[in-house]
Amino acid sequence: MKIVVGSDHAGFPMKAEVLAFLKESGHEVLDVGSFDPAPVDFPDIARKVAAAITTGEAERGLMVCGTGVGASIGANKMKGIRAAVCHDVHSAHQCVEHDDVNVMCIGAQIVGPWLARDLIAAYLGATFSTAEEFRRRVAKLAIMDDER
C-alpha cells in the first residue's frame, strides 16, 4: 500500500521510526515533511498529507504530532479526509472498519515507538466494512463535505 506520512516538529523524532516500520512492512512511503526538528505548523503538513490522498497519490495517511489532536483537526478540514486520533489498537482498526478513516494521527508525546508500530499495523491491516449501516454513515459524511 502507498502511505503518505507527515509530522510536525513534535512528531519528527518518531516519524523516523514510523517510516522504517512502514518500509520493513513492504509499504511504499511518501514523506511530506517535516524534514528536520525546526518548528513547523501542523496545518501545513496536514494539507500535504490530505492532498496526497485526495489526488490518489497515496491510499492512506499517517500523521505524527505531539498529541495527534492538532494533526487530526487540520486533516479533517480538508474535503474527503476522515482523520482520527488513535492511541489504542482497537480504535486503530475500528476507525477504518466502521468509519473508513483515511488518515490516522498519533501523538509522539502519548505513545512510544513500540505502540506506534502496533497502531499502524492495525490501521493498515483493516478494511472498510461492507455492512450497510457503516456505508450509509460514511456516505452522510461525504454529503457533509459537500455542504461546506
Catalytic residues, by residue number, are: 65, 98
Cβ count near 34 (within 10 Å): 22
Main-chain dihedrals φ then ψ at residue 89, nearest 5 degrees? -65, -40
Task: Tell me the CA distances in angstroms from 95 to 61, 86, 115, one per residue in order.
Answer: 13, 8, 17
89 by DSSP, 3-state: which? helix
DSSP 37: S
Residue 1: name the closest of 81, 84, 86, 120 by CA: 120
Across the beta sheet with 28-31, the strand order is 28-31, 2-7, 60-65, 103-107, 83-85
